Amino acid sequence: MSRVREMTGRAEQKLRWAWRRAAARYPRLAAARQGVGRAVAARGGTGDVRAENMVWIFGSGRSGSTWLRSMMDDMKGHRVWEEPMVGLLFGEFHEKAQAGQLNTANFIMGEPTRLGWIQSIRNFTLDGAGHANPSLGPEEYLVIKEPNGSVGAPLLMEALPESRMVFLLRDPRDVVASSLDAAKEGNWLYASKDKGGWKQTSMADNRPDAFVKRRAERYLQQAGGAHKAYEVHRGPKVLVRYEDLRADTLGTMKRIYRELGLPAEEGELGRVVDKHAWENIPESEKGEGKFYRKASPGGWREDLTPEQVQIVERTTAPLLEEFYAGQKT
């Protein structure tokens, strides 16, 4: 044990020396570190974010979450926290853990200490929301767009049981078709990504079937996580299909606000629905290769090959059979 302490002490001393050398060589580095410390100390507490006033939008990417978030953002007393990815932070780490890890208290998210780390997730999320939205009033609602963090939805809803949840679901074949178009060279998603991964290999162009398989698996992980959370969430919740939101936007928005117990005047809902209608998006911003592409449920029939449709249907079968059983090929 003394040998371990000795090695640890030497390692810590080396780190201190390294920092001193770096600070001496780069004065701005030392100043920045001191500035961050002063800022944190001066800031003190976080904004007044109440868990019951948090409205989470879970599901999958390309499911209409941007549209829904935009409408809710325009409602009186609403603010938006745009994709904090806190669900991905905890959910993917926990999902990848092995059974042997989960069964021991040595693992940071082991089952024997679940009560403790669930409380930590709650504190971390509320603190993060407060720092990101310091001017949020105690009576305002914070709409959190988190489709790409939906793998962690079950953990977040366990940690924040009084918060409100929207499970936004879209036909996986349309989701994959939209993603495939977006990821092709020259299109909006390809242009927005850094180098690496599927972009480096131009997978959407050179290996489209492999891209479809990967995106379908991602959909199952995201929407599957949202589904699990929805099944067990004890707070206000609502299941919304993108197809229903498109077919009757105002009626679906009324249902969302009613089932979540959120205050909303019908006239105000009508105003935001009209403002964010598909018809009001400039034509120059819509079409193939753009973020706003079709908004046409069932477009996958023209966008995907029969082989690609089969890939998506096999991969996402559990959700497809439950929510879109009458629309299989």
* Low-confidence winner among 156-165, 253-262, 293-302 (lowest mean pLDDT): 293-302
Are the beta carbons of 38 and 31 closer than 8 angstroms? Answer: no
pTM value is 0.83
The mean pLDDT of the chain is 85
Q: How long, in residues, is the chain?
A: 329
Contact 145, 80 (CB under 8 A): yes
Q: Which fold has domain 51-279+287-327?
A: Rossmann fold (3.40.50)
| Nearest in space to 168 (alpha carbons), one of 190, 143, 189 | 143
pLDDT exceeds 80 at position 18:
no
Of the candidates 296, 224, 245, which has an alpha carbon nearest to the alpha carbon of residue 67? 245
Residue 82, classed as helix, strand or coil, is strand
Residue 115 predicted with pLDDT over 50:
yes
Partners of 56 in the β-ladder: 144, 165
Q: Is the pLDDT of residue 34 over 90?
A: no
* pLDDT at residue 15, as a whole number: 42
Write out pLDDT tens, residues 81-106.
Answer: 999 999 999 999 999 999 999 999 99
Q: What is the per-residue pLDDT across 36-46, written as a single tens digit (0 to 9) for each?
A: 334 433 443 44
Parallel, antiparallel or unpaired: strands 141-145 and 54-58 = parallel
Q: Which is higher by pLDDT, 4 or 3?
A: 3
Is 57 within 8 Å of 166 (Cβ atoms)?
A: yes
Confidence (pLDDT) at 12? 44
Rounded average pLDDT over 229-238: 98
